[in-house]
Amino acid sequence: MANPISLSVTAAAIGTTRAELSGPRGARPKRAISPRNVFIYGTLLLVSVYYLLPLYVMIVTSLKGMPEIRLGNIFAPPVEVTFEPWVKAWATACTGLNCEGLSRGFWNSVRITVPSVVLSIAIASVNGYALANWRFKGADFFFTVLIFGAFIPYQVMLYPIVILLRELGLFGSLWGLVLVHSIFGMPILTLLFRNYFTSVPEELFKAARVDGAGFWGIYFKIMLPMSLPIFVVAMIIQITGVWNDFLFGVVYTKPDVYPMTVQLNNIVNSVQGVKEYNVNMAATIITGLVPLIVYFVSGKLFVRGIAAGAVKG
Amino acid sequence: MTSVSIRDLTLKFGSLEVLKSLNLDIDEGEFLVLLGPSGCGKSTLLNCIAGLLDISDGQIFIGGNNVTWSEPSERGIGMVFQSYALYPQMSVEGNLAFGLKNARMPKDEIAKRITRAAEVLQIEPLLQRKPAQLSGGQRQRVAIGRALVRDVDVFLFDEPLSNLDAKLRAELRVEIKRLHQRLKNTMIYVTHDQIEALTLADRIAIMRNGIIQQLDTPHEIYNRPVNLYVAGFMGSPGMNFIEGEISGAGDASFNVAATQIPLARYPFARADRPGKAIFGIRPEHVSCGAAAMEEPFSTDVEIEVVEPMGADTLVWAVLDGKEFRFRVDGQSPLQAGQTVRIGFDPAKASVFDAASELRL
Amino acid sequence: MTSVSIRDLTLKFGSLEVLKSLNLDIDEGEFLVLLGPSGCGKSTLLNCIAGLLDISDGQIFIGGNNVTWSEPSERGIGMVFQSYALYPQMSVEGNLAFGLKNARMPKDEIAKRITRAAEVLQIEPLLQRKPAQLSGGQRQRVAIGRALVRDVDVFLFDEPLSNLDAKLRAELRVEIKRLHQRLKNTMIYVTHDQIEALTLADRIAIMRNGIIQQLDTPHEIYNRPVNLYVAGFMGSPGMNFIEGEISGAGDASFNVAATQIPLARYPFARADRPGKAIFGIRPEHVSCGAAAMEEPFSTDVEIEVVEPMGADTLVWAVLDGKEFRFRVDGQSPLQAGQTVRIGFDPAKASVFDAASELRL
Amino acid sequence: TDLEVTHWWTSGGEAAAVAEFAKAFDATGHKWVDGAIAGGGGTARPIVVSRIIGGDPMGAFQFNHGRQAEELIEAGLLRDMTDVAEREGWKDIVNPPSLLDACTIDGRIYCAPVNIHSWQWVWLSHAAFEKAGVAVPTSWDEFAAAGKALRDAGIQPLALGGQPWQSSGLFNVLMATLAGPDVLTKIYGEKDADLAAGPEMAKVFQAASDARSMAEGSNVQDWNQATNLVITGKAGGQIMGDWAQGEFAVAGQTAGTDYTCLPGLGMREIISTGGDAFYFPVIDNAEITAAQDVLAATLLKPETQVAFNLKKGSLPIRGDIDLSAANDCMKEGLGILAKGNTMPDVNMLNTEDTNNQLNDLFVQFFQDASITPEAAQERFVEIVRNKD
Amino acid sequence: MASERPNRLYRNLTAKIAAIPMILTAVCVFLGGTAWTVVYSFTNSKLLPRAKFVGLDQYERLWGTHRWVVSIENLMIYGICSLVLSLVIGFVLAALMDQKIRFENTFRTIILYPFALSFIVTGLVWQWLLNPDLGLQSVVRSAGWVSFNFDPLYNADIVIFGVLIAGIWQGSGLIMVLMLAGLRGIDESIWKAARVDGIPLWKTYVFIVIPMLRPVFITTLVLITSGIVRLYDLIVAQTSGGPGIASEVPAKYVYDYMFQGQNLGQGFAASTMMLLAVLIVIIPWAYLEFGGKKRG
Ligand SMILES: Nc1ncnc2c1ncn2[C@@H]1O[C@H](COP(=O)(O)OP(=O)(O)OP(=O)(O)O)[C@@H](O)[C@H]1O
Ligand SMILES: Nc1ncnc2c1ncn2[C@@H]1O[C@H](COP(=O)(O)OP(=O)(O)OP(=O)(O)O)[C@@H](O)[C@H]1O
Ligand SMILES: [Mg+2]
Ligand SMILES: [Mg+2]
């Protein structure tokens, strides 16, 4: 647009000295290999080695035969790739008289994990919602006790819970285990949900109340649809926790519903002669696969959810 | 007829008494603005009326019913929030329909009401959009629509415009005013923007620390503030205050240092006139230059800062060592450093007792 | 002497060109305001000057030095942010001292500077407090103080007042103005509030989409906007625009439907006057009632809404089916529904070409 | 009827032995549902106990002989198997009778003993001694003397797993063989603290200290890994109960040619008569009760006993069966048993609590060379004094 | 419509009903279980809980037990190191990730994935990597450096640091993500202000940013601390408390005495001591969280 600026600019430009015009111009020069970049990426790469090493060793070892392992270097890639350890870990490894490997426990783990995750998240999200938005008298007290529960070593609660489950008539059943997982997942999940719902603008909640929505109406129609990130976080934490659990799975159920980790423990701890490291590693990877996949698939949402729910301690 | 009536309302947060035995009656179809500084309890009062806060003591009547313990949705109120509070995952239509669905209204009735509200607010083309896809002004309209469809007696607004920029604010202000003229519902409107209060209100309630200081028409509040606080709060730039003493009885005058302002034309509200007092005059009631000489009182001041604001110019001067502001035309040639003659009519002033701060 | 000088500054975020070959010279001691709507690139420009963003092309000179590649701290600038950006866990004193300590300034010098800045900004009693214990205005003052102690040539302000409420904003505005009068530093001030721009600026640069539309004194910008955009942007309530056609050459007139506005007194900036044009007149340049008859042009309008705003009253009327605003005295007795005579002097108007939107 | 049986026999020899039980039980028309828990008694016991307390017990479970199940019996949670015992005439066949005594409380029998395990064995690798150029020792003293030669040959003289019970087991063996069974019975059975502090024990501690230096560098956890060191000739020998025998068998080694076993460490012909027993929780289900009776009876049947014990490497609990298929070591054990040179197992004298304390003491002692024998003895005396 | 003031109990009744699971858990399980544990810690329960009270005997024995003292020492060492290292590593990594780097997602995934694995797995893998005959030591030795010595799991003096390596490996990813989220929440103008003030980057972090991340640090502190107190699986899988009792921890002591030693009373006494320690941590936290500020 033709306007007075261009005039004033030319006038000023004439006034400036030539030296000025010859100075630096444009973007600051950047080198790809600056000390800063070397430091950042160097550190990160180094750290990555530390984090990846075990995974690498696990995978490599699980693909080797026993003779190769005995001879060699654990970091060396397998000379002869064999999937036998995987097959053995999955299908034929023995514990006592059962030689079905991990396969026996896989579906049990699924059957335990799914309801546990669903129930614990359902309860914890309602708790968090009630604590954040419907603060009734004593809510803070119960919440503090709940958080206190996060610190109690599981072993301490083993017997009281046995008694509790017995009184409820749930001992030994799948539902008993689901209940236990829900109870022990509750502190940290409730904390997450409470923090998240606290960050939802209170006015939204008020608007819904004026619109005549009740406790459940607001929960299902307003809060739930808004809280995907935190649900993902809760899900990952809970899937990881439940799937990896050994103690509750073995104490509160019986052999026909033992989860995979019990099987893993049996395989790893039933040493027959020498330790079959390759089978152990294969079994370990197989057992960890489900949480790993869940995590890889939803990792981004996890980070987002953490930002939304956990940071506002 | 009284539409909303509040009796001895007290509200405490723990030991903090936010509202103190407050009484308020609002007529049907009235536009009442609650005005006050941040933290004075405006939102709290509104939330009490809406039923979103449990009150500690007192009663609330809406449309003649005691609703003190009713649910918010049963009170016949609609509420519009500062941050819009639209349900983010629902379309505009869903937002409007949510309250109606909760009340189990038949589908066709819901559709009818939404169509009507959308028409009134001119948001028909937006019905299928999500709130995130709307501009600030559009969101605000949807938020109003949500109250509108529910066909409530009383509209409650909590600073509905303060998240918008100045231009949009001015436009939506007029729209709300038009809406009120059309619908004639009772409206209670919280703001801390006095322009909004002055332009919208039938009556303004000025609050401070949970107590209503003055409840009156904008004109009265602006021109006859009952106390120093209200006088200082209203008007931007604020009223000029001069501390001094009143002397004489019938033909009283206000003395400060060397200056004497005659108070003969001042309509005293009270007969007792103690010594120490504060004299207040609004910047726009001060004339300057030639016009000043025609006023009952005039004096010379030195100009410190000149603020041209487009339509008019605000001048910051020094009178008797104290800051003194006055407003002149936008094209005024006044300059910082100049000395200029100003004058005003004490009849337009407000005089307050220095101790009680009440209007004399 | 030129204090800040920007040559062909281009800045891209990826493929988005936010600043487009921008040139700007700011004199020493000048108060320049960058004004524009949200997202037009004001903050980006300021950040480039401060060295917080790496520019894509062009040069930046401050105090005669080419600082295009210098670190922010070496440029002799101080910056004040909208969100204050105080270091929350340091006391006010710590906030002020932190930069100086880093520059290894002797202790007593630091103390001296802090004392002086605290005095200038009247924050002496606050020095030991934490930012969380300060009010908005106080925080803003500390933020200014942080630039002040560093004794820089150029102050950069990025919307320093927009987080404050209206009253405080008005007060701090004056304080900044006074500060500038006292310190006489170069100041570059970003805002989207035109009152701030008008009151503070020596010159205003109006930006839009990364391009400076007009760079001139507030008076010129307000009264002689170079294009329709600037005209519409400045002024609240905005200028009334009427679309129509210019007829005649010497004694031209502006025609819209039945109405004819004589343009004889209008100081045309250009000789070519195409047919379709837009006529703009500011609400405060419109008189009403008896005064209207004395204006070169007058007509009747119907009043729709009356907005009393204390000192004056804004009237929304209908002229030829279009909204038409004008401003009258605060005590005006006008009422909605009334028909009233209005008039104005076309010399005070602005006329734009309908196609290019440039001033005629 | 399905009967769930919990046990912690998961190593190679053990699992093969259990399979014999399962086969025999399945042959009766019932079904053995295997509830193996790897990781030993420490892992399995809480599971057993909590399931019983929780009201959902398994059909049968394996415990060590001794005081482990005492409280469960007192609480009435375990079945009284006296009827089965009488029907099957256990009183007459179980040998030594002390085994049944351990199952008996107030004259009622609560468990079915299935085997006899003795701790007092040392297993020596012929290959290792050959490599070191030393003759295979015939007693602990010779073995201890050969320690240096073995070490010089790059062979781990004594294999010792890191699990705590192995350390205390080793010590108890030294105590029983060097100081004699009477001392052990007096100290553990009668809490004779003075004896524990006495010079005889000091000698035992000194021997333990020698064993400690021989075991240094044995970086394995599980007992059978340690046994494996002996089997593969990487270690000279291991002091371990007769269950180690099973591992040699699974590895296809023959006693006398590949390895040598010395009962009582070659110092004193004595074996303890601990062992495993099966317990049967009270379950309110007639079918299961019946199946429990059948299982109990099956476990003690001669054929079952033979098949099981051959695989497990332990001694049968009845003297009236033909074990001609047994290998030399087992026969030696049988011989000692027949001579009546037996002593009670530590488990029968100590509560698990005391064992646990001993475990703590000795695992530390054997892994930490800085603890002097004297200091260890002091702590030992303390434990003995406070034991219940 | 109601004009009487309704019973307080019935206000928001649904919310209260919905909170019943939480209340039951808190009161019955956590409070009830804790109380039960504390009560029975004064008895001489063996295999089964029995109400035969013996006063403070169990506690006297507890503190007279060598292993308990070692456990406590280990927990202290592990706890302090793990706390400091987790926070430092987590923060440094987060700070690096916050530098607008390329491949951020990849790096983040790499650092966070161990979090998805159980302690059992972590323990096994690291036990193996640290095994002197198979793992790092043998690899380095076979590469030529014969005198290289790195066998933390078999050296009683440093075994706890071997556990630490694994613990950090598993836990620091989550801390990093938390810190990163916190860093991302910091107002950008703070960084700008610091640059204009000429403050070096490291000083900006140390004096300005870290103090601003207080809430994040509190959250992570709670997380890490609760993990430390519960440390059990990792030890069992990696060292079984060995060599000797060099890597014993309180939670394992509790477990071993309750189930292996069949001395519930002793186990309960140890648990009670642990709970006491937890209370010392959690009470100040609860005070910070709920004491001063209210929502508003
Ligand atoms: N939930 C609460 N708990 C405790 N105190 C509260 C709560 N909500 C508000 N307050 C306090 O009550 C007082 C009044 O708050 P209120 O929100 O009504 O002010 P307001 O007039 O609406 O202010 P603003 O203009 O800032 O919205 C304030 O001092 C506030 O701190
Ligand atoms: N880091 C960034 N990356 C990409 N685009 C950006 C970035 N920062 C700003 N922009 C874009 O650059 C344009 C100018 O932004 P800028 O912040 O300068 O606007 P502004 O005039 O300061 O607006 P406001 O008044 O809202 O502060 C906007 O369109 C914005 O979306
Ligand atoms: Mg409010
Ligand atoms: Mg900006």
- pLDDT tens for each residue of C62-83: 988 888 888 888 888 999 988 8
Q: Are residues C25 and C50 in the same domain?
A: yes
Q: Whose CA is nearest to atom 9 of ligand 2?
A: C44
Q: How many residues does chain E have?
A: 296
ipTM of the complex: 0.82
Determine how β-strand B186-191 pairs with β-strand B31-35.
Answer: parallel
Taking the CB of residue A84, how many other CB atoms lie within 10 A of it?
Answer: 16
State the Cα–Cα distance between residues D90 and E156, nearest whole angstrom.
49
Query: DSSP characters for E114-176?
Result: GGGS-HHHHHHHHHHHT-TTTSHHHHHHHTT-TT----GGG-TTTHHHHHHHHHHHHHHHHHH
Q: Are residues C218 and C95 in the same domain?
A: yes
Cβ of B42 below 6 Å from ligand 1 = yes
Eight-state DSSP code of residue D170: H
Asked if the structure places residue B218 within a domain, the reply is yes
Residue B142 has which token pair?
């949807």
E80: pLDDT strictly greater than 80: yes
Residue holding tokens 């477990």?
Answer: E255
Q: What is the pTM of this model?
A: 0.84
Longest dimension (CA), chain B: 77
Q: Check residue A120 and give its pLDDT.
A: 92
Q: Whose CA is nearest to atom 28 of ligand 2?
A: C39
| Per-residue pLDDT reduced to its tens digit, E231-261 | 888 888 888 887 878 888 988 888 888 877 7
Asked if the structure places residue C251 within a domain, the reply is yes
The better pLDDT of the pair C11, E214 is held by: C11
Cis peptide before E243, with omega less than 30 degrees from 0?
Answer: yes
| Cβ contact, residue pair E5, B69, below 8 Å | yes
Q: Are residues A108 and A53 in the same domain?
A: no
| Cβ contact, residue pair D367, E47, below 8 Å | no
Q: Kindly state whether D142 is in contact with chain E, defined as any CB-CB distance less than 8 angstroms.
A: no
Q: Are residues A60 and A195 in the same domain?
A: no
Q: What is the nearest CA distance from C196 to chain B, expressed in angstroms?
A: 8
Chain B hits for E1, Cβ within 8 Å: 65-67, 69-70, 74
Domain boundaries, chain E: 1-40, 54-295
E274: pLDDT strictly greater than 50: yes
C-alpha separations of A140 from A132, A178, A191, E286 in Å: 10, 26, 12, 9
E201: amino acid identity, one letter: L
Beta bridge mates, E216: none
Nearest to D330 by CA among D253, D255, D276: D255
Q: Check residue B335 and give its pLDDT.
A: 85
Cβ of C210 below 6 Å from ligand 2 = no
| Cβ contact, residue pair B69, E296, below 8 Å | no
State the Cα–Cα distance between residues A129 and E15, nearest whole angstrom.
9
Written in H, E and C, the secondary structure of C202-234 is CEEEEEECCEEEEEECHHHHHHCCCEHHHHHHC
**Structural domain total, chain A:** 2
Q: What is the nearest CA distance from A298 to chain E, expressed in angstroms?
A: 11
% of chain C at pLDDT higher than 90? 23
E189: pLDDT strictly greater than 80: yes
D322: pLDDT strictly greater than 70: yes
Q: Kindly state whether D193 is in contact with chain A, defined as any CB-CB distance less than 8 angstroms.
A: no
- Rounded to 5°, the CA angle C82-C83-C85 comes to 115
Contacts of residue A261, Cβ cutoff 8 Å, sequence gap at least 6: A105, A109, A243, A244, A245, A246, A249, A287, E118, E120
Q: Are residues A45 and A171 in the same domain?
A: no
Assign D221 a pLDDT band (cuts: 50, 70, 90): confident
Q: Are residues B53 and B92 in the same domain?
A: yes
Cβ of B208 below 6 Å from ligand 1 = no
Residue D242 has which token pair?
């007769």
- Ligand 2 probe mutation, C33, C42, C233, most atoms within 8 A of CB: C42
Chain A hits for C215, Cβ within 8 Å: 3-5, 8
Question: Which domain does B10 fall in, by range?
Answer: 2-232
C-alpha separations of A124 from A175, A222, D7, E34 in Å: 17, 17, 38, 21
Average pLDDT over every residue of C253-263: 82
Q: Check residue B107 and give its pLDDT.
A: 92
Q: How many residues does chain D have?
A: 388
State the Cα–Cα distance between residues E104 and E88, nearest whole angstrom.
19
Q: Are residues C171 and C307 in the same domain?
A: no
* Last residue within a domain, chosen from C173, C204, C232: C232
What is the atom index within ligand 1 of the atom nearest the CA of B47?
A: 18
Q: Check residue D340 and give its pLDDT.
A: 83
Contacts of residue E106, Cβ cutoff 8 Å, sequence gap at least 6: none
Backbone angles phi, psi at C232, to 5 degrees: -75, -30
Query: What percent of the residues of chain D are helix, what percent strand, and what percent coil, each to the nearest 5?
Result: 55, 15, 30
Question: Is residue D143 helix, strand or coil?
Answer: helix
Among A12, A20, A26, the residue with its CB nearest the CB of C58 is A26
Q: Are residues A73 and A185 in the same domain?
A: no
% of chain C at pLDDT higher than 70? 98
Assign C250 a pLDDT band (cuts: 50, 70, 90): low
Asked if the structure places residue A285 within a domain, the reply is yes
Q: For residue C270, what is the domain's CATH number?
A: 2.40.50.140
Inter-residue contact B216 to B33 (CB < 8 Å): no
Among C54, C55, C213, the residue with its CB nearest the CB of A1 is C213
Average pLDDT over every residue of A119-141: 86
Asked if the structure places residue C359 within a domain, the reply is no
- Ligand 2 probe mutation, C40, C48, C233, most atoms within 8 A of CB: C40
Cβ of C192 below 6 Å from ligand 2 = yes
Q: What is the nearest CA distance from D39 to chain A, expressed in angstroms?
A: 6
D190: amino acid identity, one letter: E
Q: Are residues B251 and B128 in the same domain?
A: no
Q: Check residue B60 and give its pLDDT.
A: 92
State the Cα–Cα distance between residues A226 and A300, nearest whole angstrom.
17
Inter-residue contact B156 to B77 (CB < 8 Å): yes
Q: Kindly state whether C89 is in contact with chain E, defined as any CB-CB distance less than 8 angstroms.
A: yes
Q: Check residue D9 and give its pLDDT.
A: 84
Inter-residue contact B250 to B258 (CB < 8 Å): no
| Per-residue pLDDT reduced to its tens digit, A171-218 | 888 888 899 999 888 888 888 888 888 888 888 888 888 888 888 989
Contacts of residue A7, Cβ cutoff 8 Å, sequence gap at least 6: none
Question: Is residue E51 helix, strand or coil?
Answer: coil
* Last residue within a domain, chosen from B232, B262, B281: B232
C240: pLDDT strictly greater than 60: yes
Asked if the structure places residue C194 within a domain, the reply is yes
Q: Are residues A63 and A139 in the same domain?
A: no
Q: Are residues C150 and C101 in the same domain?
A: yes
Q: Check residue A11 and give its pLDDT.
A: 39
A147: amino acid identity, one letter: I
Mean pLDDT, chain A, whole residue set: 80
Q: Whose CA is nearest to atom 9 of ligand 1?
A: E296
Q: Are residues A248 and A128 in the same domain?
A: yes
* A224 to chain B: closest CA residue: B89
Which of A10-19, A267-276, E57-66 has maximum average pLDDT?
E57-66
D106: amino acid identity, one letter: D
Question: Which domain does A40 fall in, by range?
Answer: 35-82
Q: Among residues 61-120 of chain B, which lie with CB inside 8 Å of chain C?
A: none
Residue holding tokens 């936008």?
Answer: B330
Contacts of residue A119, Cβ cutoff 8 Å, sequence gap at least 6: A178, A179, A181, A182
| Cβ contact, residue pair A1, C358, below 8 Å | yes
Cβ of B18 below 6 Å from ligand 1 = yes
Q: Kindly state whether E126 is in contact with chain A, defined as any CB-CB distance less than 8 angstroms.
A: yes
Contacts of residue E280, Cβ cutoff 8 Å, sequence gap at least 6: none
Q: Are residues C150 and C64 in the same domain?
A: yes
Asked if the structure places residue B359 within a domain, the reply is no
Query: Edge-to-edge strands of the sheet including C65-66?
Result: C16-27, C2-13, C57-62, C65-66
Neighbours of ion ligand 3 (CB under 5 A): B 43
Q: Are residues B244 and B227 in the same domain?
A: no
State the Cα–Cα distance between residues C50 and C155, nearest whole angstrom.
10
Average pLDDT over every residue of A18-38: 72
- Tell me how far the alpha carbon of residue C3 is from its chain's centroid: 20
* Last residue within a domain, chosen from B232, B263, B298: B232
Q: Which H helix or E strand runs over C8?
A: strand C2-13
Q: Are residues B243 and B226 in the same domain?
A: no
Asked if the structure places residue C130 within a domain, the reply is yes
Q: Are residues C68 and C167 in the same domain?
A: yes
Q: Kindly state whether C77 is in contact with chain E, defined as any CB-CB distance less than 8 angstroms.
A: yes
State the Cα–Cα distance between residues B308 and C174, nearest whole angstrom.
12
C187: pLDDT strictly greater than 90: yes
Q: Kindly state whether B69 is in contact with chain E, defined as any CB-CB distance less than 8 angstroms.
A: yes
pLDDT along chain B (360 residues), means of 10: 88 86 92 88 90 89 89 88 86 91 90 90 88 84 87 88 76 86 90 87 92 91 91 86 81 80 81 80 88 86 85 86 85 84 89 87
Q: Check residue B9 and give its pLDDT.
A: 92
Cβ of C13 below 6 Å from ligand 2 = yes
Q: Whose CA is nearest to atom 1 of ligand 2?
A: C13
- D neighbours by CB contacts (3+ pairs under 8 Å): A, E
Q: Kindly state whether E15 is in contact with chain B, defined as any CB-CB distance less than 8 angstroms.
A: no
State the Cα–Cα distance between residues A117 and A242, nearest whole angstrom.
8
Inter-residue contact B217 to B202 (CB < 8 Å): yes
Q: Kindly state whether A49 is in contact with chain C, defined as any CB-CB distance less than 8 angstroms.
A: no
Q: Check residue E240 and give its pLDDT.
A: 81
**Which of D31, D56, D229 to mutate: most A Cβ within 10 Å?**
D56
Query: DSSP characters for A35-76?
Result: HHHHHHHHHHHHHHHHHHHHHHHHHHHHTS-HHHHHHS-TTS
Assign D324 a pLDDT band (cuts: 50, 70, 90): confident
Asked if the structure places residue C360 within a domain, the reply is no
Q: Among residues 78-137 of chain A, which lie with CB inside 8 Å of chain E?
A: 123, 126-127, 130-131, 134-137
A15: pLDDT strictly greater than 80: no
Lowest-pLDDT choice from B33-47, C47-61, E139-153: E139-153
% of chain E at pLDDT higher than 90? 12
Nearest to A244 by CA among A297, A280, A186, A289: A289
Contacts of residue D49, Cβ cutoff 8 Å, sequence gap at least 6: D72, E47, E48, E259
Taking the CB of residue C223, how many other CB atoms lie within 10 A of it?
Answer: 16
Taking the CB of residue D335, how many other CB atoms lie within 10 A of it?
Answer: 12
Q: Check residue A7 and give its pLDDT.
A: 38
Question: Is residue C188 helix, strand or coil?
Answer: strand
Q: Kindly state whether C29 is in contact with chain E, defined as any CB-CB distance less than 8 angstroms.
A: no
Q: Are residues C276 and C203 in the same domain?
A: no
What is the atom index within ligand 1 of the atom nearest the CA of B45?
A: 18
**Which of D219, D370, D371, D380 to mutate: most E Cβ within 10 Å?**
D219
E84: pLDDT strictly greater than 90: yes
**Structural domain total, chain B:** 2
Tell how far the Cα of C45 is from the centroid of ligand 4, in angstroms.
9
Question: Is residue C113 helix, strand or coil?
Answer: helix
Q: For residue B187, what is the domain's CATH number?
A: 3.40.50.300
A24: pLDDT strictly greater than 90: no
Average pLDDT over every residue of A84-102: 78
* C27 to chain A: closest CA residue: A12
Assign A274 a pLDDT band (cuts: 50, 70, 90): low
Tell how far the Cα of D35 is from the centroid of ligand 1, in angstroms.
63
Give the number of whichever ligand sits closest to the CA of residue C207.
2
Asked if the structure places residue B360 within a domain, the reply is no
| Per-residue pLDDT reduced to its tens digit, D172-201 | 999 988 888 888 888 888 888 888 888 988
Inter-residue contact D95 to D319 (CB < 8 Å): yes
Beta bridge mates, C314: C307, C327
Among E12, E96, E215, the residue with its CB nearest the CB of A40 is E96
Q: Check residue C188 and give its pLDDT.
A: 94
Lowest-pLDDT choice from C118-122, D383-387, E3-7: E3-7
Nearest to C284 by CA among C332, C246, C250, C237: C237
- A neighbours by CB contacts (3+ pairs under 8 Å): B, C, D, E
What is the atom index within ligand 2 of the atom nearest the CA of C40?
A: 21
Nearest to A312 by CA among A141, A177, A132: A132
Q: For residue A195, what is the domain's CATH number?
A: 1.10.3720.10
Q: Do chains D and C touch (3 or more CB pairs under 8 A)?
A: no
Among B13, B14, B66, the residue with its CB nearest the CB of E1 is B66
Tell how far the Cα of B38 is from the centroid of ligand 3, in angstroms.
7
Q: Check residue A21 and give its pLDDT.
A: 57
Q: Which CATH architecture has domain E54-295?
A: Orthogonal Bundle (1.10)
State the Cα–Cα distance between residues E273 and E75, nearest whole angstrom.
13
